[in-house]
């Protein structure tokens, strides 16, 4: 396919997904579809609605705005409560969808969005923290910091504090990034480990460093996007902190790029083990890299030369995994359904573990990032 055909196909693909989805039954939430349970407020839909709102902003097409508003309105009540969401669950994943409330509030001015923003902010007031001050990833994972959590919570936190709280929590957010750099970055590769257990008690944690054993691609992807999204919401008055995160972003992209597959432009599920049996080129993390870099270049956080790496990742993913079915419907393959650490399934962070999780098509954890990268490609044009 030519690049033009890929871009046109992606537009059709998004239309197909939203035509067949609602807040009650989003076809892209494969975990939910497989579980057979009713949909809840969750980060996976949050990622997809962020992509739809980004498409609205880039194209001006009202259908994306209408779909996003209808979707969120199914959850958000007039009093600012959110159906199926409980702040006391203390799950950072549930903060992610909150970013979209700021956008809807700006466009429609409906006070229920402003109240719902406060509902989500209330979770962070009581979110348990490590002794050094980082949010636990979830209440059920005590003393643990996961890279994914930076994407889930920090952009919302930074935006709230900048807009509504006289920037009081902005330094706190910055410090959480610096703690991650201190504890989770591998000096040799520049990559970041998926998780860190301050207590060193979890079976997956290195008894000396507290880190999990491997570099999982999607966790790195969430982390790269988190830095870009936080910078976008940060006031430049925080001169040193702003430049600190920008320098960290640039260094991370440089280091990650070294692991980009020369032939396809993609990245491997476990990043530093290319071609090992069971490893594969994975869609979601590659798309997150493409999005983070394209957006970072557009906003001036990253040098322009890096855009070529992102375009290679974007088109490489589409060439390998975007296809048309015999019935004319489109699908995106090569998406790791889920990966975590600990829990009852003994997720030990080993290579065998990361290779064992299901690989699926059309899941929003891959589709959302690819569509976000697609909006950046349109913006470049």
Q: Which of 277, 259, 340, 296 is nearest to 93 (CA)?
A: 340
Angle between helix 239-257 and 170-184 (nearest 10): 30
**Sign of the C-alpha dihedral computed for residues 248, 250, 253 and 256 taken in this order:** negative
CB 367 within 8 A of CB 30: no
Contacts of 256 (CB under 8 A, 6+ apart): 190, 191, 220, 224, 267, 271, 289
* Number of domains making up the chain: 1
CB 293 within 8 A of CB 307: yes
Q: Which of 155, 38, 29 is nearest to 92 (CA)?
A: 155
Q: What is the CATH number of the domain that holds 356?
A: 1.50.10.10
**In Å, how far are 28, 29, 125, 169, 365 from 225, measured between CA atoms?**
21, 21, 24, 20, 13
What does DSSP say about strands 330-332 and 322-324: parallel, antiparallel, or unpaired?
antiparallel
Q: Which residue range forms the structural domain that includes residue 244? A: 3-379
* Sequential pLDDT tens for the chain (381 residues): 899 999 999 999 999 999 999 999 999 998 888 899 999 999 999 999 999 999 999 999 999 999 999 999 999 999 999 999 999 999 999 999 999 999 999 999 999 999 999 999 999 999 999 999 999 999 999 999 999 999 999 999 999 999 999 999 999 999 999 999 999 999 999 999 999 999 999 999 999 999 999 999 999 999 999 999 999 999 999 999 999 999 999 999 999 999 999 999 999 999 999 999 999 999 999 999 999 999 999 999 999 999 999 999 999 999 999 999 999 889 999 999 999 999 878 899 999 999 999 999 999 999 999 999 999 999 998
């Amino acid at each position: 396919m030519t690049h033009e055909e890929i871009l046109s196909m992606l537009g059709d693909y998004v239309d197909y997904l939203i035509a067949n989805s609602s807040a009650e039954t989003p076809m892209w939430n494969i975990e939910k579809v497989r579980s057979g349970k009713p949909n809840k407020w969750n980060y996976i839909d949050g990622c997809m609605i962020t992509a739809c709102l980004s498409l609205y902003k880039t194209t001006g097409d009202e259908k994306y705005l209408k779909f996003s508003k209808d979707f969120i309105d199914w959850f958000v009540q007039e009093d600012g409560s959110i159906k199926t969401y409980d702040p006391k669950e203390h799950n950072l994943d549930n903060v992610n969808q909150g970013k979209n409330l700021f956008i809807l509030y700006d466009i429609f001015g409906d006070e229920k969005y402003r109240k719902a923003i406060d509902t989500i902010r209330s979770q962070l007031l009581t979110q348990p923290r490590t002794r050094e001050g980082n949010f636990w990833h979830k209440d059920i994972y005590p003393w643990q910091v996961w890279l994914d959590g930076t994407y889930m919570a920090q952009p919302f936190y930074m935006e709230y504090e900048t807009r509504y709280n006289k920037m009081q929590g902005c330094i706190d957010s910055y410090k959480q990034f610096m703690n991650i750099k201190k504890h989770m970055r591998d000096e040799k590769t520049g990559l970041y480990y998926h998780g860190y257990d301050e207590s060193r008690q979890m079976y997956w944690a290195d008894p000396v460093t507290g880190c999990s054993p491997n570099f999982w691609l999607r966790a790195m992807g969430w982390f790269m996007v988190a830095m870009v999204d936080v910078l976008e919401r940060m006031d430049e008055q925080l001169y040193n902190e702003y430049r600190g995160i920008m320098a960290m972003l640039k260094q991370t992209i440089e280091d990650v790029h070294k692991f980009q597959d020369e032939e396809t432009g993609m990245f491997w599920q476990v990043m530093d083990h290319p071609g090992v049996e069971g490893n594969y080129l994975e869609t979601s993390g590659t798309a997150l890299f493409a999005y983070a870099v394209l957006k970072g270049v557009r906003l001036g956080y990253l040098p322009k030369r890096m855009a070529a790496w992102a375009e290679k990742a974007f088109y490489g993913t589409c060439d390998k995994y975007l296809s048309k079915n015999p019935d004319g419907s489109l699908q995106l393959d090569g998406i790791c359904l889920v990966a975590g650490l600990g829990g009852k399934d003994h997720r030990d962070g080993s290579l065998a573990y990361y290779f064992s999780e299901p690989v699926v098509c059309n899941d929003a954890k891959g589709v959302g990032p690819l569509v976000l990268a697609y909006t950046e490609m349109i913006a470049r044009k």
